Amino acid sequence: MRRFVCSLLLVIAGCGGTPSAPSGSVDPLASADPTPRGSDSGAGAVALTDDFGGRQLFPPDNWWNQDISTAPVDSQSDAYINFIGRTRGAHPDFGPPPYGIPYVGVSGSQARLPIAFVDYGDESDIGFRGENGYPVPDAARSQPNFIEGGIAGGGTSGDRHLLVVDRDRWVLFELFAARWNASRTRWEAGSGAVFDLSSNTRRPEGWTSADAAGLAILPGLVRYDEAMRGAVRHAFRMTVRSTNGYVWPASHRAGSTTGALPMGARLRLRASKDISRYPPYIQNIFRAMQIYGLIVADNGSDMYVTGSMDGRWNNSELNPAFAALTAADFEVIRLGWR
């Protein structure tokens, strides 16, 4: 079954957000790496946690950006929620390094490097529109926090996602199990996928991506700049412990557990849930769950919501707020609904 088991370190830490990160603390992402952050760092700059000038990833009618606030509830919604466990609390699977998934913006001139796919090469993209290679910054080989897990060059355990956006051509490159193999002087990955962010093209039916469901990862992350700016206008990526097949918009299965949700299923936070007591940025996140929902994209821990690795997150606020949302506060919309 694909996939993936968190490294022992992340399992011990809850496979997600660190227990606390006081407001005003030093930003580990910035202090550990001199690479500039943000979309104002220069046209040719490599920028961790790039905000892309606030530009929306994928077109407005893409499944990640789809308003499902009035979508019908699936007839088996209660059964699916019961399978998860009605009292199971949500969890922010992100925080300061090494928690969450990092991402980086580069210019169109960033060199494309060939990737050796060691697991799912027959379902991986070698590059964009016939090109061979991914625009992996050189710093990812020697500096931490470019690859999920926080280890320079990726290491050898964990999911090790590496997400890069060519901001000039508006193309997203994503790798799973990325690592720099120094002995063979090459980049390796378990699988890889390339997405034209101006298009709604899905993966071929039955294909994986850098994610088990065959979906893009970056558009489903809870991102700091978005949450702080105001309304968040997309769904979030989530995991459950077991899955059963897949439905649109997913393209790949990673389990066949009877009673479990399929990959691509979407949960919606009930409109009746009062979120007014939380800080504004958390309200923005929770309101997006009510309007755009959560999409099941991988096997992992139940009700874990994926976000960006960013030293600015305050998990002493996020953790209790997410934990106050239980599975019973959500409903499953009709499977495959468009």
**pLDDT single digits (tens) 143-194:** 999 999 999 999 999 999 999 999 999 999 999 999 999 999 999 999 999 9
Average pLDDT of the residues of the chain: 90
**Confidence at residue 1, expressed as pLDDT on a 0 to 100 scale:** 38
The distance of Cα 300 from the centroid of its chain, to the nearest Å, equals 13
Instruction: Decide: 333 and 71 in contact? Cβ < 8 Å.
Output: yes
Q: How far apart are CA 291 and CA 270, in angstroms?
A: 9
* Alpha-helical runs (H) found in 188-294: 224-229, 280-291
**Confidence at residue 225, expressed as pLDDT on a 0 to 100 scale:** 98
SS3 assignment, position 119: coil
**Confidence at residue 42, expressed as pLDDT on a 0 to 100 scale:** 53
**Confidence at residue 283, expressed as pLDDT on a 0 to 100 scale:** 98
Q: Which residues pair with 186 in a beta bridge?
A: 181
Among candidates 117, 147, 144, which has minimal Cα distance to 132? 117
Q: How far apart are CA 264 and CA 267, in angstroms?
A: 10
Q: How far apart are CA 227 and CA 160, in angstroms?
A: 24
- Scored b (16 or more CB within 10 A) or e, 74-91 reads beebeebbebbeeebbbb
Segment among 12-21, 163-172, 275-284, 319-328 with least mean pLDDT: 12-21
Radius of gyration of the chain, Cα coordinates, nearest whole angstrom? 18
SS3 assignment, position 139: helix
Share of the chain above pLDDT 70, in %: 87
**Confidence at residue 130, expressed as pLDDT on a 0 to 100 scale:** 87
Q: How far apart are CA 254 and CA 132, in angstroms?
A: 28
Reported as a single tens digit per residue, the pLDDT across 247-287 is 999 999 999 999 999 999 999 999 999 999 999 999 999 99
- pLDDT bucket at 27, cuts 50 / 70 / 90: very low
Contact partners, residue 7, CB within 8 Å, separation at least 6: 149, 157, 158
**Confidence at residue 37, expressed as pLDDT on a 0 to 100 scale:** 54
38 pLDDT above the threshold of 90: no
Instruction: Decide: 53 and 47 in contact? Cβ < 8 Å.
Output: no
* Residue ranges with strand state E in 66-118: 91-95, 103-106, 115-117
Reported as a single tens digit per residue, the pLDDT across 114-127 is 999 999 999 999 99
**Confidence at residue 43, expressed as pLDDT on a 0 to 100 scale:** 56
Q: What is the dihedral of CA 251, 173, 90, 235, to 10 degrees?
A: -70
Q: Please give the residue that has the higher pLDDT: either 140 or 11.
A: 140
Report the pLDDT averaged over residues 74-88.
98
Contact partners, residue 35, CB within 8 Å, separation at least 6: 46, 47, 48, 104, 137, 139, 143
Residue with tokens 């599975």: 327
Model-level pTM?
0.89
CB neighbours of residue 328 within 10 Å: 15
